[in-house]
Structure 1
Amino acid sequence: MQSAAASYSKLIKDEAKRLGFSFCGIAEATFLEDEAPRLETWLKGQMHGEMHYMENHFDKRLDPRLLVDGAKSVISLGFNYYNSDLQSDKESPKISKYAYGMDYHTVIKDRLKLLLAYIQTEIGEVGGRAFVDSAPVLERAWAKKSGLGWVGKNGNLINKKHGSFFFLCELIIDLPLAYDIPPTKDYCGTCTKCIDACPTEAIVAPQIVNGSKCISYLTIELKNEIPQEFAGKMDNWMFGCDVCQDVCPWNRFSEPHKEEAFHPHPDLLDMKQRDWEEITEETFQRVFKKSAVKRAKFAGLTRNIKFLKNS
């Protein structure tokens, strides 16, 4: 006879699939002992650059029970965002696939809230919180612990069936569930394509990314001017970067997403190099309405485009 925990876990995973999540795994909410020294070393090495918020809530990043009272389970989910469409002008400044459509924070948070509401309706009084890349949660560590895949040399979680073009998110709840078994093998093997291809040599060792050198950091998180040492090394990226994922052999299994909200604005992929170099704030607001690109703001995006043009 199936236990209540196993029955609840199946119920949750079936509903997650119905809501459009690509996969779902569950781990016990405990202290992430293995991650503590890694995080401490990464921070001490100043690899977070100007992302000073990474220094905050060290204990909460390692223990979900400090985020949700009575937490028993961490439900990790993946949501596909892969798009095979490319910008038509090959000379045009590039934008990461994840930012083609609506801001994923909003889209996925809404689905997570529906999943939590479903759990509360079907199971009973269950407390919990939804997290989408906006709180001190080590999402890749939890995804790995939940059996969703392994952390590749580029620091991204890789799934054997889906590659790595997906968003990670979590529900942390106070309900005991049946827990998945994490993978015991790293399937990257001897491959170093991501390390070799990184334009700024940000992947300093397998699974260790110097965030302060990453193009995504330089074009999104960095608020000051981009250092001249990166002139000519940005590979024409104006927002984010997909290089380490584009070259990853596991992404041959990536399939285009089916999420309407992630389709790009009709004008986005057809804008020419000159269109970007002459972009107005009005066009920015129209093309990137409700987009994650708003994080960089108009001033940040034009700074990036100007840097690419002059380097």
Structure 2
Amino acid sequence: MINRSKYSQLIKSEAQRLGFLSCGISKVQFLEKEAPRLENWLKNNSHGQMSYMENHFDKRLNPALLVDGAKSVISLLLNYYPSEFQKEESYKISKYAYGQDYHFVIKEKLKALLFSIEEQIGAVSGRAFVDSAPVLDKAWAAKSGLGWIGKNSNLITQKVGSFYFIAELIVDLELEYDAPTTDHCGTCTACLDACPTQAIIAPYQVDGSKCISYYTIELKDNLPEEMKGKFQDWAFGCDVCQDVCPWNRFSKAHNEPLFNPNSEILSFSKKDWEEITAETFQKVFKDSPLKRTKFEGLLRNIQFLK
């Protein structure tokens, strides 16, 4: 007899031990509500040049196509809110990029969690996902009660806001499932009002192709001239819609040493950024998410901001 409650508790305790902020579990099923939303988002070209978003449409909506015999989605949050920040007068990078690339950090934790599940429960077939496969992370995290998807399309929780990564294990194990939480955005429109490029086109609707994060990370072409002067010194990513969210008053500093910032990043002035060499870039951002945009991309962004 499968003891779903006991197994679920065991998984959540283990997730906590590994440093995850929280863990929620939902039943594998076709994401019926998300299907038309995703279809419209793609139809409106809100993904811009992120053509990979068009791939594996069915898999994005049904985890059973990703893992044979999948029964449960174990969603996990990992805090990245820093205790120290960049200098005021500097080109800005998203807080999630202060430390080491989260893909590697989280992947190791997920492997350890899966190993622990197999050790204590027995043979379990499953896969770990961190932003690297067609999984609708936020939808699954919301389904398992870890938060609600806010007007800025980020997952938000009342206790700690939204500065965390979302990852999941999809397993062929039946577990006890959590219930979704309620939306607590209320009448607040802080994120819509503050978005420098009006990428949040309506509550709960983000045009990804207008987002500063898209322009500074995903876009490979020249940055559009009509956006000149709108980036508010963001050179990699953008945190504006999170920074203004009232729930992020409750953000607490993470305790993951690998996310601690390189001291040079925090002390860089605008001049330091403007004069950065390929050698310095390689040294300072060796294991950083900034490698995604490459040295040339970072230079392009900084030139655009000057």
**Equivalent of residue 95 in structure 2, options 89, 94, 97:** 97
**Equivalent of residue 254 in structure 1, options 251, 255, 268:** 251
1:226-279, Cα deviation, whole Å (9 max, x unpaired): 111110000110000000000000001100000000011121100111110011
Distance 2:178 2:56 in 1: 27
Q: What residue number does 2:175 align with?
A: 177
Secondary structure of the corresponding residue to residue 200 of structure 1 = coil
Q: What residue number does 1:159 align with?
A: 157
Q: What residue number does 2:141 align with?
A: 143
Within-5 A mapping of 1:96-115: 96-115=94-113
Q: What residue number does 1:71 align with?
A: 70
Distance 2:160 2:176 in 1: 23
Distance 2:7 2:141 in 1: 19
Within-5 A mapping of 1:182-261: 182-183=180-181, 185-261=182-258
Distance 1:306 1:211 in 2: 23
Instruction: Give the Å deviation of 1:207.
Output: 1.2
Secondary structure of the corresponding residue to residue 267 of structure 1 = helix
The one-letter amino acid paired with 1:87 is Q
Distance 1:265 1:74 in 2: 34
Secondary structure of the corresponding residue to residue 177 of structure 1 = coil
TM-score under structure 2 length normalisation: 0.99
Instruction: Give the Å deviation of 1:86.
Output: 1.7
The one-letter amino acid paired with 2:61 is L
Instruction: Check if 1:275 corresponds to 2:272.
Output: yes
Instruction: Check if 1:46 corresponds to 2:25.
Output: no
Distance 2:204 2:192 in 1: 10
The one-letter amino acid paired with 2:188 is C
8 Å contact kept, 2:86–2:92: yes
Instruction: Give the Å deviation of 1:3.
Output: 6.6
The one-letter amino acid paired with 2:125 is G
Secondary structure of the corresponding residue to residue 90 of structure 2 = coil
8 Å contact kept, 2:83–2:254: no
Distance 2:194 2:43 in 1: 26
Instruction: Give the Å deviation of 1:147.
Output: 0.6
The one-letter amino acid paired with 1:165 is F
**Equivalent of residue 118 in structure 1, options 104, 116, 121:** 116
Distance 2:261 2:183 in 1: 34
Distance 2:260 2:154 in 1: 23
State the identity as a percent: 66
Q: What residue number does 1:26 align with?
A: 25
Distance 1:272 1:38 in 2: 42
Distance 2:223 2:279 in 1: 24
RMSD (CA atoms): 0.9
Secondary structure of the corresponding residue to residue 275 of structure 1 = helix
8 Å contact kept, 2:70–2:171: yes
Q: What residue number does 2:79 align with?
A: 80
8 Å contact kept, 2:94–2:236: yes
Instruction: Give the Å deviation of 1:281.
Output: 0.5
- Work out the number of aligned pairs and report it: 306
Secondary structure of the corresponding residue to residue 9 of structure 1 = helix
1:113-154, Cα deviation, whole Å (9 max, x unpaired): 000000011000100000000100000000000110100000
1:193-246, Cα deviation, whole Å (9 max, x unpaired): 000000000000111110000000000011111111110000110000000000
Instruction: Check if 1:303 corresponds to 2:275.
Output: no
1:19-69, Cα deviation, whole Å (9 max, x unpaired): 000000000011000000000000000000000000000000000000000
- Structure 2: which 5+ runs fail to align? none
The one-letter amino acid paired with 1:286 is K
Q: What residue number does 2:260 align with?
A: 263
Distance 1:158 1:209 in 2: 15
TM-score under structure 1 length normalisation: 0.97
Secondary structure of the corresponding residue to residue 147 of structure 1 = coil
Q: What residue number does 2:9 align with?
A: 10
Secondary structure of the corresponding residue to residue 25 of structure 1 = strand
